[in-house]
């Protein structure tokens, strides 16, 4: 009898754990949505902040995040894809391959603020890009690189061996086989990973704190070497650094909602790409 | 299930190329066919080397991060000596007369919130992983798995914001203190941040336990609960520990949540209701304010170096545990 009760109690606890995790996410999404949705309007999305950020919108922050993300993608995606192709298609098991894999796993564990420090020294100071869109984008690119590599490799692994063998048997060289018989089937899997990595990069604050994000700018960055406003940094400013914190709370909630919405949208599109891809592979 | 693709040994000549080669040998013609072969060969080798360089880039970045942190931190260590960093707990670099650079309190703060986060996240995360992998029906699983994924995607700055707005007044009310921005707040938020890592990796570990183990236990008369606690969890333990280590690494390096929610007062304390200042938060607050290439600036890189080494060791240990575990499984 006692055993039965232990079992019931134990499973009840597991249930509760599951519900609690669901509850955490629910509270986060619900609270931000309820308090942020009132601020949302066309004006909020398309106007710059006014009156010391107590009024107006968050347009420059949205555009800033957008621009930095583009740099991140341009930098990290080819590099990550090529590295993944090497690891999955060319690399022989051995010391160097092991080292590369070890480096990738450890890179994904390096704190984002350390990437920030690295970005300041390398891009801002050594390469003289200054605090700019470019520096921040490259720093975020480095941050997302290990995720991109892992995701691309996973995608390459799903392509059956027979696809490559078919091309090789017909006399194609290795690269030709990869180009025509592997990449086309792996590309949507890679896209999924890239979008997920991008959604994480878009929400990062620590790496852009000193590499280019600005407290307030009345205009959009004119070149790659200008500073920019970014959604996560804007939220941080509104939540902790503003002189009238209570007054800007609604705007902070609105910013948080837009940021969350953007990230959920990216996540959803990644899920959609994955879904389409699975259907294509089946059919 | 098809086996994953394993690359073959070095580039071999393709059948077409073999024909060319034979032809060039038979006719003793070193011009057209052989040339064609050579060009293709060079082309292939060039492409392979190009991809190889991209792979090496990962090692280069890791070494680059370490060496830049080291060289930027070194001037401060040379000027002040290691003792002033690790032998003191007073971090006051802005003092006019004698600035002090003791990082002990920053390290203990980081360890404290990390410990607090793990106390919350480990039981909860492992239980949730067990729930998803063993108990939940497929429909519940379909809800919980995306939940964990989305939770992993929530930006730390949003979590920090909620720490200020939701957790802060809750703690203040519960403990009757005026300000809820303290180590406890940071621990709760970090727990939420590291939960997805712990859940998804522990779940993988639990799922990797061979079904025969479970069946053997059930056949011997064990009930589901006994099977879970005495068979499945112990078999997956190394994987679960690796998951916890990775979650811990995430908690140590997390910046925005602790920056926003822990009150940022560098002090050597072990009271979870005190405001603290972690290593990450110190860098985040001060790097924007100090002029480049001053002692204070270099000192921040020393903190960065310590942080890097700490997370590196944690990740490496979890990596070793995982490798060992996979070998045993085979």
Q: Please say if the pLDDT value at position B9 is more than 50.
A: no
pLDDT score at A84: 94
Shortest distance between the Cα of B102 and any Cα of chain A, in A, equals 20
pLDDT score at B2: 47
CB pairs under 8 A between A and B: 291
| CB within 8 Å of chain B, chain A residues 58-117 | 79, 82-83, 85-92, 96-97, 99-100, 102-107, 109-117
Any B CB within 8 A of A183 CB: no
| CB within 8 Å of chain A, chain B residues 258-287 | 259-260, 280, 283-284, 287
pLDDT score at B124: 95
pLDDT score at B330: 46
Cβ-in-10-Å burial (0-12, 13-18, 19+) of A185 comes to middle
Q: Which of A94-103, A129-138, B13-22, B75-84 has the lowest mean pLDDT?
A: B13-22
CB-nearest partner of B315 from A109, A169, A236: A109
Partners of A212 on chain B (C-beta within 8 Å) are none
The pLDDT tens digits for B165-203 are 999 999 999 998 888 889 999 999 999 999 999 999 999
Q: Which of A192-196, B110-114, B154-158, B244-248 has the lowest mean pLDDT?
A: A192-196
Q: State how far the alpha carbon of A108 is from the alpha carbons of A142, B150, B187, B246, in Å.
A: 10, 19, 22, 10
Q: Which of A38-52, A147-161, B61-75, B175-189 has the lowest mean pLDDT?
A: A38-52
CB-based contact A257:A36 (threshold 8 Å): yes
pLDDT score at B4: 52
Q: In this structure, what DSSP letter does residue A208 have?
A: G
Percentage of chain B exceeding pLDDT 90 = 46
CB-nearest partner of A90 from B48, B59, B314: B48
Spatial distance between the Cα atoms of B302 and B74, rounded to a whole number of angstroms: 7
Mean local confidence (pLDDT), A231-247: 86
Distance of CA B94 to the CA centre of its chain: 32
The pLDDT tens digits for A166-224 are 888 887 888 889 999 999 889 888 998 899 889 989 999 999 988 988 888 777 888 88
Spatial distance between the Cα atoms of B5 and B90, rounded to a whole number of angstroms: 56
pLDDT score at A282: 65
Query: DSSP 3-state helix, strand, coil percentages of chain B (rounded to 5)?
Result: 75, 0, 25
Any A CB within 8 A of B4 CB: yes
The pLDDT tens digits for A271-281 are 888 888 777 76
pLDDT score at B179: 86
pLDDT score at A222: 84
Candidates B237, B233, B231; CA nearest to B213 is B231
Q: Please say if the pLDDT value at position A53 is more than 80.
A: no
Helical packing angle, A112-119 and B237-253, nearest 10°: 50
């Amino acid at each position: 009898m006692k055993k039965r009760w232990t079992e019931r109690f134990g499973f009840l606890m597991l249930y509760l754990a599951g519900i609690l995790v669901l509850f955490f996410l629910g509270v986060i999404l619900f609270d931000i949505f309820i308090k942020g949705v009132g601020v949302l309007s066309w004006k909020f999305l398309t106007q710059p902040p006014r009156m010391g950020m107590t009024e107006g919108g968050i347009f420059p922050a949205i555009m800033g995040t957008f621009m930095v993300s583009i740099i991140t993608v341009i930098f990290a995606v080819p590099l990550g894809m090529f590295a993944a192709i090497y690891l999955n298609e060319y690399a022989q098991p051995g010391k160097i391959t092991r080292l590369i894999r070890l480096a990738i796993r450890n890179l994904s564990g390096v704190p984002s603020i350390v990437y920030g420090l690295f970005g300041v020294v390398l891009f801002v100071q050594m390469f003289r890009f200054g605090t700019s869109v470019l520096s921040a984008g490259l720093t975020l690119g480095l941050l997302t690189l290990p995720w991109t590599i892992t995701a691309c490799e996973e995608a390459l692994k799903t392509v059956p061996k027979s696809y490559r063998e078919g091309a090789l048997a017909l006399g194609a060289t290795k690269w030709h086989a990869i180009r025509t018989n592997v990449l086309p089937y792996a590309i949507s899997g890679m896209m999924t990973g890239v979008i997920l990595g991008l959604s994480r990069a878009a929400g990062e604050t620590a790496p852009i704190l000193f590499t280019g994000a600005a407290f307030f700018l009345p205009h959009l960055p004119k070149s790659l070497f200008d500073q920019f406003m970014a959604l996560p940094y804007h939220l941080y400013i509104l939540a902790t650094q503003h002189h009238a914190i209570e007054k800007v709370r609604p705007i902070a909630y609105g910013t948080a909602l837009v940021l969350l919405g953007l990230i959920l949208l990216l996540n959803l599109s990644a899920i959609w790409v994955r879904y389409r891809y699975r259907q294509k592979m089946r059919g | 299930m098809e086996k994953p693709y394993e690359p073959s040994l070095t580039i071999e000549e393709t059948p077409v190329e073999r024909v060319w080669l034979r032809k060039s040998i038979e006719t003793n013609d070193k011009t057209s066919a052989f040339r064609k072969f050579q060009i293709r060969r060079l082309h292939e080798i060039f492409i392979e080397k190009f991809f190889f360089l991209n792979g090496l880039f990962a090692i280069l970045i890791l070494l680059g991060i370490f060496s830049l942190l080291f060289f930027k931190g070194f001037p401060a260590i040379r000027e002040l000596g290691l003792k002033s960093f690790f032998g003191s707990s007073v971090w006051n670099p802005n003092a006019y007369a004698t600035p002090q650079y003791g990082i002990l309190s920053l390290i203990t703060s980081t360890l404290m919130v990390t410990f607090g986060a793990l106390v919350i996240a480990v039981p909860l995360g492992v239980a949730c992983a067990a729930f998803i992998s063993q108990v939940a029906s497929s429909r519940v699983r379909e809800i919980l798995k995306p939940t964990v994924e989305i939770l992993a995607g929530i930006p730390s700055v949003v979590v920090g914001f909620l720490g200020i707005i939701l957790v802060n007044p809750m703690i203040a009310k519960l403990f009757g203190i005026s300000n809820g921005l303290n180590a406890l707040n940071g621990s709760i938020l970090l727990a939420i941040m590291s939960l997805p890592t712990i859940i998804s990796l522990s779940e993988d570990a639990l799922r990797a336990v061979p079904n025969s183990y479970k069946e053997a236990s059930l056949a011997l008369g064990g009930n589901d609960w006994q099977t879970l606690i005495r068979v499945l969890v112990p078999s997956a333990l190394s994987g679960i520990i690796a998951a916890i280590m990775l979650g811990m690494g995430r908690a140590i390096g997390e910046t925005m949540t602790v920056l926003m929610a822990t009150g940022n007062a560098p002090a050597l304390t072990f009271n979870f209701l005190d405001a603290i200042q972690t290593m990450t938060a110190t860098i985040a607050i001060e790097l924007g304010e100090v002029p480049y290439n001053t002692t204070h600036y270099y000192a921040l890189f020393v903190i960065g170096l310590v942080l890097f080494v700490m997370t590196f060791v944690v990740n490496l240990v979890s990596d070793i545990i995982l490798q060992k575990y996979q070998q045993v499984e085979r």
